[in-house]
Chain A
Amino acid sequence: MPKYFAGCDLGSTTGKAVILNASGKVVASALIRSKIDPIETGREVLEMAAGQVEGLDVRDISYLVGTGYGRNEVPFANENVSEITCHAVGAHYMDPGVRTIVDIGGQDVKAIALNDDGSVLEFAMNDKCAAGTGRFYEAVVRTFDVTLDQFSELSLKAKKVVPVTSQCTVFAESELVSLLYKRHPPADIAAGVQLSVAKRVFTLARRVGIRPKVTVTGGCSKNKGLVKALEKVLRVDIVNLGMDPQFMGALGAAVIALRKQGN
């Protein structure tokens, strides 16, 4: 039986799993919405990923690394590694030129500076507040009564930016309602939301230093309007990693698992 190595990233909103073969090629990946029980999320997403490889049972994975908010709860994991290290390893694995990562997940925003070898040089992370995270966007799209994809597209159609001053998720929701009632174009307000999040990221990223190449990982990386706002605020091009950036944590965990091959 060939050897396989896996990473499982249990985030606050989604669970992700990536499986590599012994050559380091991604042979499977899976993503599910997080359940109440993190162990159940881990088990299900790992089984989904393993199911994509013929004859592979999760228990046959040679080495499994857990990461993310629920990293202590990944079933069968050999060890756990922080998501900060895993995103760094994953992004560097896909593009060794990456020096700065902005990871925007369900409840955390992180800026990570990388050394030339892909190790973490410095990182900065939001506090308790979930402003600018996936949770924040969930509240925003509820106000706009659209999907996140629709919201992202809407923001790209803005003619100008209507400033959104509230960072707090709850206050921002109220502010958006009043801006909509004032008949500001929804697209312009949406662009204001993207800019407010990008500015929050800017302060974090400045703390670690913004060095190209810069990439965005985590679930919010799929929000094109946000990525565009980040490019404007950070004054850099955001590089595409060639793999869904939401999987970078799980990929990094799998790469770490692969590197343990000799142990």
Chain B
Amino acid sequence: MKQPVSLPRLINDIVDSPISPLVDKAQEADRKAIAYTCSFVPEPLLNVEGLFGVRVRAPGVSGTPMADTYLSNVICSTVRSILEFVLEGTFSSINGWVFTASCDHMRRLYDNLDYLEHPDFIHILDVPHKRSEAAVQWMREELSMLAEKLADKFNVVTDDAALSRAIDAHNEYLALMRDISDLRKRDHPPLTGAMFQALIAAASSSPTDLIIPHLRVFYETARNAPGIDDYRARLLMAGSHCDDPHYIRVIESTGALVVGDRTCTGSIPALAPIDDEGDPLTVLARRSLSNISCPRMMEEFDTRVEEIIAAAKEFRVDGVVLETMKFCDTWGVEASPMINALRKAKIPVLRLEREYSLGSEGQLQTRVQAFMESMGK
């Protein structure tokens, strides 16, 4: 597939590094890096002046022998891989950690990190399983406690004004990513799905203000570039954690073009702007509960299906690839009825179960190629 644009070298460097070079740069300016692992953590709360959020990844993890001694063998490999890097000292420059009790696997990561490493700052947010007004208030209290704890530990200001500024800054990033995402709706998108995932991964693991100029340079190049016109099929990626652009690259090596995504490390956290009116903590709480389509949220199955169907139409895809992490309990339960629901809506679906680190590329290519052929592509 001919690619009219390429990613800036810095983006590629960040994607392949467990710690972004921009993190080091920000820390040299005395800002503190707060690591997180789940979309339910509201980034603006970690991005108040003096702090910045870093969504941790484990690129290049080659095995998890140490983590395997602490975690059960049915814990997903995302969690194992991150714990392995923790135990290797890869994340020792991180100043603090914020987790969510989004699933048992993430809870075990929190437990083991706390037990084994005793970080100076570690916190876990309780996240309700519903979206009701009572749940929003519960979540607001959780965020309020975190804000207070961050302020005390790092001597930063987390009042309403500071949070509003952080929300405004994050909205600037979201607007830019929306613009880039919109390029994928073209008949001939100028960028691949792997490139988009690389931008998201690089951005979420770097201080937002430092990455924005690089994203903007890419956008200006891409929006004027000719599109990709030799792809065989347009695909939407949906499912669980997928922060590895190389995984999407293998899918696209078959001639497919991933033009949209609804994964928790892609666009599920929502590129829609954050409300800048009202109590910031309530706004962030509501956004977390309303905009993240995680299968852990009860009574929302139909909404999640509708979101994927809507995205399939919006990006005019030929089919959906539903990728789920092996042993992910929530997606494990959700995947089968979701496949049935999407097929009922006449949307072809391929389910791919995967591990965190990329392997068996040939078998992955065979599955995707056969999927496209079954669609007549």
Interface residues of A (CB under 8 A from B): 69, 81-85, 108, 119-121, 123, 125, 127-128
B303 adjacent to chain A (CB < 8 Å)? no
**Which residues from chain B contact A69 at a C-beta distance below 8 Å?**
362, 366
A108 to B365, CA, bound (A): 13
**Which residues from chain A contact B376 at a C-beta distance below 8 Å?**
119
A-B pairs with lowest CB-CB distance, top 3: A84-B370, A82-B369, A82-B370
A236 to B353, CA, bound (A): 29
Residues B360 and A127 in contact, CB atoms below 8 Å apart? yes
CB-CB contacts of B159-201 with A at 8 A, as 1s and 0s? 0000000000000000000000000000000000000000000
Most chain-A Cβ atoms within 10 A of its Cβ — which of B359, B360, B376? B360
**A120 in contact with B367 given A69-B362, A127-B353, A128-B360 (CB within 8 Å):** no
B155 adjacent to chain A (CB < 8 Å)? no
11 new A-B contacts, CB < 8 A, other than A84-B370, A123-B370, A125-B367, are A82-B366, A84-B366, A84-B367, A84-B369, A119-B374, A120-B370, A120-B373, A120-B374, A125-B366, A128-B360, A128-B363
A81 to B374, CA, bound (A): 11
Q: Which residue of A lies closest to B353 (CB)?
A: A127
Most chain-A Cβ atoms within 10 A of its Cβ — which of B353, B359, B360, B369? B369
CB-CB contacts of B83-100 with A at 8 A, as 1s and 0s? 000000000000000000
In the complex, what's the smallest C-beta–C-beta distance from B372 to chain A, in angstroms? 9
Interface residues of B (CB under 8 A from A): 353, 359-360, 362-363, 366-367, 369-370, 373-374, 376
Residues B374 and A85 in contact, CB atoms below 8 Å apart? yes
Residues B366 and A121 in contact, CB atoms below 8 Å apart? no
Residues B374 and A127 in contact, CB atoms below 8 Å apart? no
Residues B373 and A83 in contact, CB atoms below 8 Å apart? no
A115 to B370, CA, bound (A): 14
**Which residues from chain A contact B374 at a C-beta distance below 8 Å?**
85, 119-121, 123
**Which residues from chain B contact A121 at a C-beta distance below 8 Å?**
374
A127 to B352, CA, bound (A): 10
Q: Which residue of A lies closest to B253 (CB)?
A: A72
Residues A125 and B373 in contact, CB atoms below 8 Å apart? no
Q: Which residue of B lies closest to A120 (CB)?
A: B374
Could you list 23 A-B pairs, sorted by A, with CB under 8 Å?
A: A69-B366, A81-B373, A82-B366, A82-B369, A82-B370, A84-B366, A84-B370, A85-B370, A85-B373, A85-B374, A108-B363, A119-B376, A120-B370, A120-B374, A121-B374, A123-B367, A123-B370, A123-B374, A125-B363, A125-B366, A125-B367, A127-B353, A127-B363
Q: Which residue of B lies closest to A87 (CB)?
A: B370
**Which residues from chain A contact B366 at a C-beta distance below 8 Å?**
69, 82-84, 108, 125
Q: Which residue of B lies closest to A122 (CB)?
A: B374
**Which residues from chain B contact A125 at a C-beta distance below 8 Å?**
363, 366-367
A121 to B374, CA, bound (A): 7
A83 to B373, CA, bound (A): 11
**Which residues from chain A contact B362 at a C-beta distance below 8 Å?**
69
In the complex, what's the smallest C-beta–C-beta distance from A108 to chain B, in angstroms? 7
In the complex, what's the smallest C-beta–C-beta distance from A126 to chain B, in angstroms? 8
In the complex, what's the smallest C-beta–C-beta distance from B339 to chain A, in angstroms? 10
Q: Which residue of B lies closest to A72 (CB)?
A: B365
**Which residues from chain B contact A119 at a C-beta distance below 8 Å?**
374, 376
**Which residues from chain A contact B369 at a C-beta distance below 8 Å?**
81-82, 84
**Which residues from chain B contact A120 at a C-beta distance below 8 Å?**
370, 373-374
Most chain-B Cβ atoms within 10 A of its Cβ — which of A81, A82, A85, A121? A82
In the complex, what's the smallest C-beta–C-beta distance from B344 to chain A, in angstroms? 15
Q: Which residue of B lies closest to A108 (CB)?
A: B363
**Which residues from chain A contact B370 at a C-beta distance below 8 Å?**
82-85, 120, 123
A85 to B254, CA, bound (A): 14
A236 to B366, CA, bound (A): 28
Q: Which residue of A lies closest to B373 (CB)?
A: A85
A81 to B367, CA, bound (A): 11
**Which residues from chain A contact B363 at a C-beta distance below 8 Å?**
108, 125, 127-128
Q: Which residue of A lies closest to B359 (CB)?
A: A128
A123 to B373, CA, bound (A): 12
Q: Which residue of A lies closest to B366 (CB)?
A: A82
In the complex, what's the smallest C-beta–C-beta distance from A132 to chain B, in angstroms? 15
**Which residues from chain A contact B353 at a C-beta distance below 8 Å?**
127
A85 to B376, CA, bound (A): 11
**Which residues from chain B contact A127 at a C-beta distance below 8 Å?**
353, 360, 363
Q: Which residue of A lies closest to B343 (CB)?
A: A122
Q: Which residue of A lies closest to B376 (CB)?
A: A119
Q: Which residue of A lies closest to B354 (CB)?
A: A127
A83 to B362, CA, bound (A): 12
In the complex, what's the smallest C-beta–C-beta distance from A58 to chain B, in angstroms? 24
A119 to B370, CA, bound (A): 10
In the complex, what's the smallest C-beta–C-beta distance from A78 to chain B, in angstroms? 15
A119 to B372, CA, bound (A): 12
**Which residues from chain B contact A81 at a C-beta distance below 8 Å?**
369, 373
Most chain-A Cβ atoms within 10 A of its Cβ — which of B359, B360, B362, B366? B366
**Which residues from chain A contact B359 at a C-beta distance below 8 Å?**
128
**Which residues from chain B contact A82 at a C-beta distance below 8 Å?**
366, 369-370, 373
In the complex, what's the smallest C-beta–C-beta distance from B91 to chain A, in angstroms? 28
In the complex, what's the smallest C-beta–C-beta distance from B153 to chain A, in angstroms? 43
A82 to B374, CA, bound (A): 10
**Which residues from chain B contact A128 at a C-beta distance below 8 Å?**
359-360, 363
**Which residues from chain B contact A83 at a C-beta distance below 8 Å?**
366, 370
